[in-house]
Amino acid sequence: MDIEIRTFRPEDLEEVYEIERRSFLWPWSQGVFIHLHHTTPHLFLVAVVDGRVVGYVMGEMEGAKVGHVINIAVHEAYRRRGVGTRLMEELERRFGELGAEGVKLEVREGNEEARAFYRGLGYVERGRVDRYYWNLTAVRMEKKLGR
């Protein structure tokens, strides 16, 4: 499967939002995606297979040294096929180009599949954040970036 990773374009919004809506209990509004496209366009990436958007990842820099993965989702038909890994690798590469020494993210405590995915990419659990997702606890994960 040939996976193209590129920056988000406004015409991708409907496909990205459909993935968001199908992936999360509390999907973000389309306005959040437009906002992030305007504030960090170089860190809002999509995965494209056969001309179709099948996944996305969004990030931001927190200060000069830390990249923050805001959100990632992959269409259910394309999960466990390398799409999420490719998205994360490209986002981490871009964080590194911006001078980040590490990356952090939050994941719902009960989402064992996602936690295992991040551990497989080299992230380690660094603590809990109570009520991060409304009444649910998040696990904070971090990874150091190599130079």
Query: What does the pLDDT look like over 69-117, one tens digit per residue?
Result: 999 999 999 999 999 999 999 999 999 999 999 999 998 888 889 999 9
Residue 54, pLDDT score = 98
Q: Which domain holds residue 45?
A: 4-144
CA distances to 6, 65, 90, 105, 139 from 32, rounded to whole Å, are: 19, 24, 21, 18, 23
Question: How many beta carbons lie within 10 A of that of residue 82, not counting itself?
Answer: 14
pLDDT at 132 over 60: no
CATH number for the domain harbouring residue 14:
3.40.630.30
What's the pTM value of the predicted model, to 2 decimals? 0.92
> Strands 44-49 and 4-7, how do they pair?
antiparallel
pLDDT of residue 19 exceeding 70: yes
- Would you state the pLDDT for residue 59? 97
Per-residue pLDDT of 3-12, as tens digits, reads 999 999 999 9
Phi and psi at residue 42, to the nearest 5°: -75, -10
Name the domain count of the chain.
1
More confident residue, 130 or 121: 121
Please, which pLDDT band fits residue 136 given cuts at 50, 70 and 90?
Answer: low
